[in-house]
Amino acid sequence: MTVIKLSLVKGKSDSEIEVLEKYLPESFARLADIYLAGGEHKRALEILNQHAESFPDYPTGFWMLGKVHYSLKDKERALKYLHRTLQIIPEHLAALELIGKIYMENGEHALARSYLKQVNQADELGGMVFKTRDDEVRARDEKEQMEYAKDRARGKFATETMVNLYIKQGHKKLARELCEEILVMQPENTRIKSILKELEK
């Protein structure tokens, strides 16, 4: 019943969640966010603890650890992982914002302002818009995951084999998304273009 509840919250089918769990370990941050949104904090934390250290250059894993620990009211651990995020991406706005919020809640106002100021400066530059709504935070996370995917090329997962596996199992939406991601990295991949065209019919 837990998975069904999560499907309703995040718009994910049971089978999509199962595929994420079984076939895409590198998508652990996305999966943890699904469980967190469904109120399954312990499951989200379990997934993150299992995978985050395996991807030490992947900021979203540590950002999600900070976010989950904050949700569990463990501010000390939240700060630990949020600062780890900043070690990878110093301008990570979501991490800067949450660190500032924690310090403000702890009464460390000067320290809080030093972090929030960086967010405001980014706003003024117009390159990134700071919002506090969860959906926009998640959108930033997804953008980071795409950038990370370009850098790391998604290893063995972003392959035609994986696309065909999705299609075989009836997960056309996931197949389309993966095709689009592969084309970001390989815009001249005619085979993937052909598969995507068929999926969009």
Gyration radius (Cα) of the chain, Å: 18
Hey, where are the domains in the chain? 2-152, 153-201
**Fold assignment, 2-152:** 1.25.40
CA distance 166 to 160: 10
* 3-state secondary structure (DSSP) of residue 116: helix
pTM of the entire structure?
0.54
Report pLDDT digits (tens) over 139-192. 555 555 545 444 443 443 446 777 776 787 677 887 888 788 778 777 888 888
Token match 């818009």: residue?
129
CA distance 22 to 124: 42
